[in-house]
Amino acid sequence: TAASPPGHVVLLASPGAGHLIPLAELARRLVEHQGFAATLVTFADFATPDARSAVLFSLPASVATATLPAVSLDDLPADVCLEKVLFELVQRSLPHLRVLMQSIGSTAGPLVALVPDFFCPSALSVAAEIGVPGYIFFPTNLATLSVTSRAVQLNDGAAAGERRALSDPLEIPGGVSLRSAELPEGFRDSTAPSYGQLVETGRLYRRAAGFLVNTFYELEPAAAEESKIAAENGTFPPAYPVGPFVRSSSDEAGESACLEWLDLQPAGSVVFISFGSAGMLSVEQTRELAAGLEMSGHRFLWVVRTPSLNGESFAFGNGADRRSNDDDPLAWLPDGFLERTSGRGLAIAAWAPQVRVLSHPATAAFVSHCGWNSTLESVSAGVPMIAWPLHAEQKMNAIVLEESVGVALRPRAREEDVGGGAVVRQQEVAAAVKELMEGEKGRAVRRRVRDMEQAAARVWSPEGSSRRAMEEVAVKWKAALASAAKPPK
Ligand code: UDP
User: Coil, helix or strand for 323?
Assistant: coil
Task: Let me know: does 460 contact 466? Beta carbons within 8 Å.
Answer: yes
In angstroms, how far apart are the furthest CA atoms of the chain?
83
* Ligand 1 center–CA 370 separation, angstroms: 10
- Quick check: 319 pLDDT over 50? no
Per the annotation, the verdict on 117 as an active-site residue is yes
Name the active-site residue from 19, 96, 298, 391.
19
Average pLDDT over residues 302-315: 84
Residue 241: asked if its preceding bond is cis (omega within 30°), the reply is no
Q: What is the mean pLDDT of the chain?
A: 91
- Mark 267-286 as b/e (b = at least 16 C-beta within 10 Å): eebbbbbbbbbbbbbbeebb
24 lines ligand 1 (CB under 6 A): no
Q: Which ligand 1 atom is at minimum distance from the Cα of 318?
A: 23
For residues 348 and 275, what is the distance between their CA atoms, to the nearest angstrom? 13
CA dist., res. 469 & res. 212, Å (int) = 9
Residue closest to 38 by CA, chosen among 71, 66, 58, 72: 66
Give φ, ψ of 172 to 5 degrees.
-115, 165
Ligand 1 probe mutation, 246, 250, 314, 374, most atoms within 8 A of CB: 374
- Decide if 147 contacts 170 (C-beta within 8 A): yes
Residue 25 φ/ψ, nearest 5 degrees? -65, -40
- Three-class secondary structure assignment of 330-394: HHHCCCCHHHHCECCEEEEECCCCHHHHHCCCCEEEEEECCCHHHHHHHHHCCCCEEECCCCCCH
Q: Which residues contact 216 (CB under 8 A, 6 or more apart)?
A: 241, 242, 243, 244, 455, 456, 459, 465, 466
SS3 content of the chain, % helix, strand, coil (to 5): 45, 15, 40
108 C-alpha to ligand 1 centroid (Å): 34
Q: Which of 320, 114, 130, 145 is nearest to 227 (CA)?
A: 145
**Mean pLDDT score, 97-106:** 96
Query: Is residue 3's pLDDT more than 60?
Result: no
33 is catalytic: no
- 175-202 per-position pLDDT tens digit: 999 999 999 999 999 999 999 999 999 9
Bridge partners, 363 (sequence order): 270
Q: What is the mean pLDDT of residues 56-84?
A: 87
**C-beta 351 within 6 A of ligand 1:** yes
Structure confidence at residue 317 (pLDDT): 46
- Residue 278 Cβ contacting ligand 1 at under 6 Å: yes
Percent of the chain topping pLDDT 70: 92
Active-site entry in 8, 45, 96, 117: 117
Residue with more model confidence, 278 or 449: 449
441-446 mean pLDDT: 98
pTM of the shown model: 0.94
Q: Which of 50, 277, 318 to mutate to test the pocket of ligand 1 (most atoms within 8 A of CB)?
A: 277
- Residue 277: pLDDT above 80? yes
Q: What is the pLDDT of residue 486?
A: 66
Whether pLDDT at 1 is above 50: no
- CB contact set of 431 (below 8 Å; sequence gap of 6+): 411
pLDDT of residue 422: 81
> What pLDDT, in 10s, does the model give residues 468-487?
999 999 999 998 887 776 66
Q: Which atom of ligand 1 is nearest to the CA of 391?
A: 25
Identify which of 141, 51, 115 has the alpha carbon closest to the alpha carbon of residue 373. 141
d(CA 373, ligand 1 centre) in Å = 6
Rounded Cα distance between 204 and 202, Å, is 5
At residue 330 the predicted structure's pLDDT band, cuts being 50, 70 and 90, is very high
Give the three-class secondary structure for 273. strand
Q: Which of 453, 477, 456, 480 is nearest to 466 (CA)?
A: 456
pLDDT tens-digit series, residues 400-428: 999 999 999 999 887 555 455 689 999 99
Q: Give the mean model confidence (pLDDT) for residues 58-85.
A: 88
Contact 380 CB / ligand 1 (< 6 Å): no
Examine the pLDDT at 9 and tell me if it is beyond 60.
yes
97 vs 5: which has the higher pLDDT: 97
379 lines ligand 1 (CB under 6 A): no
Q: Which stretches of 123-264 are assigned E, i.e. beta strand?
A: 135-138, 170-172, 176-178, 210-213, 239-241
In this structure, is the dihedral angle defined by the CA atoms of residues 61, 66, 67 and 69, taken in order, positive or negative? positive
Given this model, what pLDDT does residue 247 score? 83
Q: Is 317 left (phi over 0), alpha (psi -120 to 50) or beta?
A: left
Q: Computed from CA positions of residues 363, 364, 369, 371, in that sequence, does the dihedral angle turn out positive or negative?
A: positive
